[in-house]
Amino acid sequence: MQNIDWNTRGNKQLTEAVLALKNTDEAKRFLRDLMTETEILEFANRLEAARLLSNDVQYNAIIESTGLSSTTIARISKWLKGSLGGYRLILGRISNHHHNSIQTGRGLS
């Protein structure tokens, strides 16, 4: 497996940029400038696949709902179960955020 060097100037700048985002509007604006519409859809589908996998949804249903290949879904499954835990971390946070916004009557938009 290829390791990413997170200490390069560009990679540090990217992670710092993500951390500097303060709200959903800023995130939408930054992501739209950073990526093409196709790339945004791809990453959104990958996150959705991770959510579905964490809810024990079968590959065929995930393929049908996201359009991702079985190879991509298998990779997401591997990362979801992996030691870094990035998907698990974010899914837990957005699940809690969604749960809290429902209780307080505020939406995610």
From first to last of its 109 residues, what are the pLDDT tens digits of the chain?
Answer: 458 999 999 999 999 999 999 999 999 999 999 999 999 999 999 999 999 999 999 999 999 999 999 999 999 999 999 989 999 999 999 987 655 544 444 444 4
Considering the segment(s) 9-84 as one domain, its CATH architecture is Orthogonal Bundle (1.10)
Structure tokens at 6: 């997170």
Residue 86, number of CB atoms within 10 A of its CB:
11
> In the chain, what are the domain boundaries?
9-84
How many Å apart are CA 62 and CA 98, to the nearest integer?
Answer: 21
Expressed in angstroms, the distance from the first to the final Cα of the chain is: 37
Q: Which two three-digit tokens encode residue 26?
A: 């800023």
Cα 57–chain centre separation: 17
